[in-house]
Chain A
Amino acid sequence: MSLLTQNPGQQAHTHSADTMVPDQSRGERPRSFEVADFPMPTGREEEWRFTPVGDLGALLADEATGACLDWEESLPEGVTLGSMSVEEWRGLGLPRPADRPAAIAAARSGGVAVLDIPAEAELTEPVRIRLTGDSEQVVHGHLLVRVGRFARATVILEHAGTSRYAEQLTVTTEDGADLTLVTTQEWADDAQHLAQHDVVVGRDARVRHVAVTLGGEVVRVCTNATYAGTGGTFEGFGVYFSDAGQHLEHRLFVDHEAPHCRSNVEYKGALNGDTARAVWIGDVLIRAEAEGTDTYELNRNLLLSDGARADSVPNLEIETGEIAGAGHASTTGRFDDQHLFYLQSRGIPEDEARRLVVRGFFAAIVSRIGIPEVTERLMTAIEDELAAVSTQAGERA
């Protein structure tokens, strides 16, 4: 690690040429258990420059609060929910926190909630964990999900209510496991949520990470995927709908460090309202040893009103030529007038046509989530958001 990366807060102020070495790859960003290794962000750092750091003071303060969210869980047979100490967790050799709120969440949580899905389990029902908050108190959450070899499972993690929530979630999968993890952020309008999700994909395992973010004032979910062996597959799907006053941020970092692994990331979002913000960062690093990697990333943003702002940054770093394929695409725009015209020419009123077009935009990704109950709920939620859009449009007209 260079001198610079240990002191990211100072890099912008270095005057002489002697000490200035910018990070040469995404993998060089610091990771540490120690909160002290992550200075208070100023908003100028690469990983914070899109985030409204000024509004997040409470979540960036290194203080234990003892507060927690309400837990409601439904565990299918064989699945256990236990706990371990933070020291024990640190000894497991799992990915370390990568930013200040994650380091605080990991250090100040007072204990790690551990969800174990035993080897070779074939769950017919999803594991459901619903977390709700009812105050503006800061909560530090620390979860570990372990999936044994050849197990197949779906885990649905729901967030609702209001809170200031900093979260460190680690997911490990052993050989040949198949996990779908859905995290939904349906917070109230004043909630803040800063999350780090680390996913370790085992040999020949498959992990599908689905982030659904609809509510909250500031929501930032940083998902990092790494591979413990060859042949792993990571799929990262996301759906977000940002209204006025919302800042919804999704950051992904897929670190291909094992050969013959695949990753596929697809995030789609709509923005509506004067100050609606959406940020999507998709970093992929293919290290020299990761030959035969196949990766693709896609982000699409649909702007439904004036004043909304979408930032979309897909970064790709490739250190070997022996790859199966690599690419990314990003688009931002409003829906095609031709689509509207076509539907209107078929006798569908403009209002209805708009909703159909937006539905179609989301349907492609929503249908890939593959869990009927989530799909239905999500389409209903999108319908509700759209209803709000057309009411506003009606008022404007």
Chain B
Amino acid sequence: MSTNIEELNPGLKDLGRYEYGWHDTDSAGASAQRGLSQAVVDDIAERKSEPEWMRALRRKALGLFEKKPMPTWGSDLTGIDFHNIKYFVKSTEQQATSWEDLPEDIKNTYDKLGIPEAEKQRLVAGVAAQYESEVVYHQIREDLEEKGVIFVDTDSGLREHEDLFREYFGTVIPAGDNKFSALNTAVWSGGSFIYVPPGVHVDIPLQAYFRINTENMGQFERTLIIADEGSYVHYVEGCTAPIYKTDSLHSAVVEIVVKKNARVRYTTIQNWSNNVYNLVTKRATCAEGATMEWVDGNIGSKVTMKYPAVFLMGEHAKGETLSIAFAGEGQHQDAGSKMVHAAPNTSSNIVSKSVARGGGRTSYRGLVQVLEGATKSKANVVCDALLVDTISRSDTYPYVDVREDDVEMGHEATVSKVSDDQLFYLQSRGMSEEEAMAMIVRGFVEPIAKELPMEYALELNRLIELQMEGAVG
């Protein structure tokens, strides 16, 4: 019987260790200013030659950011120094149209991330690669363009499709929603802008990689997805960031409008390095018969506070969140989901799985709200946590607010440790303890891993194996 798994598995301490810890020489960031002021906000708008309404909105959001209090719950955020962050870093390169046009160091970065392979295999429909706040590489397959699908970076979205952009920007997440959405609205740059016309079904996932590459650079990307009536799109976002000495801030805003009978799936695997504060606001609105699915993986970062939300505004709308979190040493994954039922016959489902090790902390924090009038709604929340040692921490904070009688609401949580019985059984079948441990962890996350696109499922499996390294033969 083992009481100390760490001792038995020296390799376990590498779980959560950051593998993609290289960074390129930093020439773009050196000139960018640190700190936040109206001059910085105006300068961002100026450099992008933005229309007046966006400038005004940025200024208003800055005021809101200064007024809004820090959250009084969740993680310890005292490590963020808002005065020591670069709010905008313009890429030194112009936007490239093909892979060959990319500068060598950027290509190297993406080579390590495996993008060219994905592109060559035509597994992805288009790659919007975010490098230092602006998209430098961007390609859309022609057939998508023919269908009228818009898939550009958000800055181009504003330039090229201003009317459409203005109609939806900030409607799902207003600037004043919370302190960090205000910050993002004030200084946003980069991100993806997607419009899928009525009835168009995008068969292959649209994919974007984001990377933070400048020390102390906040990444404030802004993503806006509009799925018109009866359409379908799957957007995949992956994040990796190199290791730096001081704390970085990542504060994105993702707005998704799912119109009548449309369906959107948004997949994220977040693997920031272990010094990044990842404070993200993600929200979708679902019209009648629409479906929104969040698949949310949190593996890296120092602190993540992320609660993808679905506002079910139309009858028979459906929201789903599959969330998976790994917390290693020094990490706090405070993730969950929010479902707001605002129409009759809506349904929501949240499945959360978390693994904590090495003194890390995982928290599930969720809210299911059934507003008056949302009769015959159904909501279900299941969260499971797996503890692999004695020093890690796992919390569950599920909030439920039901204001209708005609609803079904269920919540269930279990927290378990890897039992000696399970390990013994697998070892009796000839596996080493390390292999057995990794297999149990993989089995635990399987229900979510199988929902990921192929290459992400492979990546996730590899990440688990890396984190269990030494535990895996």
Contact = CB atoms under 8 A, between A and B. Distances in A.
Contacts of A326: 414-416
B397 A20 contact: no
Contact of A11 (B66, B72, B398): B72
B404 A303 contact: yes
A339 B149 CA distance: 49
A17 B412 contact: no
B413 A46 contact: no
A301 B400 CA distance: 11
A321 B389 contact: yes
Interface string B216-252: 0000000000000000000000000000000000000
Contacts of B76: 21-22, 24
A319 B416 CA distance: 12
Interface string A256-300: 000000000000000100000000000000001001000000000
B430 interface: no
A204 to B, nearest CB: 23
A291 B3 CA distance: 11
Contacts of A314: 396, 398, 411, 413
Interface of B: 3, 66, 69-78, 80-82, 356, 372, 385, 387-417
24 contacts: A17-B82, A19-B78, A20-B70, A22-B75, A288-B390, A288-B391, A303-B406, A309-B401, A311-B399, A312-B411, A313-B399, A315-B398, A316-B394, A317-B393, A319-B393, A320-B387, A321-B356, A321-B387, A322-B390, A327-B412, A329-B410, A334-B405, A334-B406, A334-B407
Contacts of B72: 11-12, 14, 20, 22
A328 B391 contact: no
A17 B399 contact: no
Contacts of B372: 307
Given A12-B72, A291-B390, A317-B393, 18 more contacts: A12-B69, A14-B70, A303-B404, A303-B406, A310-B402, A311-B401, A312-B400, A313-B398, A313-B400, A315-B396, A316-B413, A316-B415, A318-B395, A320-B390, A321-B356, A321-B391, A331-B408, A333-B409
Given A22-B75, A330-B400, A332-B402, A317 B417 contact: no
Contacts of B393: 317-319
A17 B398 contact: no
**Closest 7 CB pairs between A and B?**
A321-B387, A303-B405, A332-B409, A333-B408, A316-B396, A326-B415, A327-B414
A76 interface: no
B387 A323 contact: yes
B388 A321 contact: yes
A309 B403 contact: yes
Contacts of B402: 301, 303, 309-312, 332
Contact of A306 (B78, B399, B405, B417): B405
B78 A331 contact: no
A96 B407 CA distance: 40
B329 to A, nearest CB: 14
A311 B368 CA distance: 10
Contacts of B80: 17
B78 A15 contact: no
Contact of A321 (B390, B395, B401): B390
A311 B405 CA distance: 12
Given A12-B69, A288-B391, A318-B394, A333 B407 contact: yes
Contacts of A87: none
Given A17-B70, A333-B407, A327 B400 contact: no
A271 B406 CA distance: 12
Contact of B415 (A309, A310, A311, A323): A323
Contact of A18 (B78, B385, B397, B400): B78
A20 B397 CA distance: 20
Contacts of B398: 313-315, 330
A34 B80 CA distance: 35
Interface residues of A, number: 48
Nearest to B80: A17
A288 B416 CA distance: 15
A331 B380 CA distance: 9
A331 B368 CA distance: 12
A317 B356 CA distance: 13
A328 B77 contact: no
A305 B406 CA distance: 8
Contacts of A13: 69
A333 B81 CA distance: 45
Contacts of B78: 17-21
Nearest to A310: B402
A15 B66 CA distance: 8
Contacts of B392: 321
B18 to A, nearest CB: 23
Contacts of A323: 387, 415, 417
A325 interface: yes
A13 B70 CA distance: 9
A333 B390 CA distance: 37
Nearest to B397: A315
B81 A17 contact: yes
Contacts of A21: 76, 78
Given A288-B391, A315-B395, A320-B390, A22 B82 contact: no
A304 interface: yes
B414 to A, nearest CB: 4
Contact of B413 (A312, A328, A333): A328
Contacts of A105: none
B231 to A, nearest CB: 33
A103 interface: no
Given A17-B80, A317-B393, A332 B73 contact: no
In the complex, which of the residues B72, B372, B391 has the most CB atoms of chain A within 10 Å of its own CB atom? B72
A305 B403 CA distance: 10
Contacts of B391: 288, 320-321
A308 interface: yes
Contacts of B70: 14-15, 17, 20
Contacts of A46: 73
Contacts of A320: 387, 390-391
Contacts of A15: 66, 69-70
In the complex, which of the residues B77, B356, B396, B415 has the most CB atoms of chain A within 10 Å of its own CB atom? B415
B400 A332 contact: yes
Contacts of A308: 403, 405
A327 B407 contact: no
A40 B412 CA distance: 35
A18 B74 CA distance: 16
Nearest to B396: A316
A84 B390 CA distance: 43
Given A13-B69, A306-B404, A311-B400, A329 B411 contact: yes
Contacts of B396: 314-317, 328
B19 to A, nearest CB: 25
Nearest to A306: B405
Contact of A322 (B81, B385, B417): B417
